[in-house]
């Protein structure tokens, strides 16, 4: 799909995407920090936790649901970051 963008709008759009990239990177850093707290608290990597949680082997602790949500949120943030970086690279 081709989109026509006026010459003066291009820099504004690029700046907006760069800001979005910085925001996403900041959010990713924060989520990873929160994940690390759970990993240290439960002595379990997030990868191992997710495998066990998805199989129903851990129970219904509120911490576990929060941890699971952070893992899913991180994946979404990383996907968005990848797309934003791809747009800048393509530009």
Q: Tokens 């990239």 label which residue?
A: 21
Report the predicted TM-score, pTM, of the whole model to 2 decimal places.
0.85
What does the pLDDT look like over 26-35, one tens digit per residue?
999 999 999 9
pLDDT confidence bin for 1, thresholds 50/70/90: low
What does the pLDDT look like over 40-59, one tens digit per residue?
999 999 999 999 999 998 98
Is the dihedral angle over the CA atoms 55, 65, 42, 28 positive or is it negative? positive
Between the two ends of the chain, the Cα-to-Cα distance in Å is: 14
Structure tokens at 7: 């010459």
C-alpha span between 35 and 68 (Å, rounded): 9
């Amino acid at each position: 799909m081709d989109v026509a963008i006026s010459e003066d709008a291009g820099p504004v759009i690029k700046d907006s995407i760069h800001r979005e990239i910085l925001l996403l990177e900041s959010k990713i850093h924060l989520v990873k920090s929160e994940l690390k707290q759970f990993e240290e608290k439960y002595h379990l990597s997030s990868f191992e936790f997710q495998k066990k949680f998805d199989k129903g082997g851990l129970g219904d602790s509120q911490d576990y649901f929060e941890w699971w949500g952070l893992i899913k949120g991180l994946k979404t943030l990383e996907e968005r970051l990848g797309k934003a970086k791809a747009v800048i690279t393509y530009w």
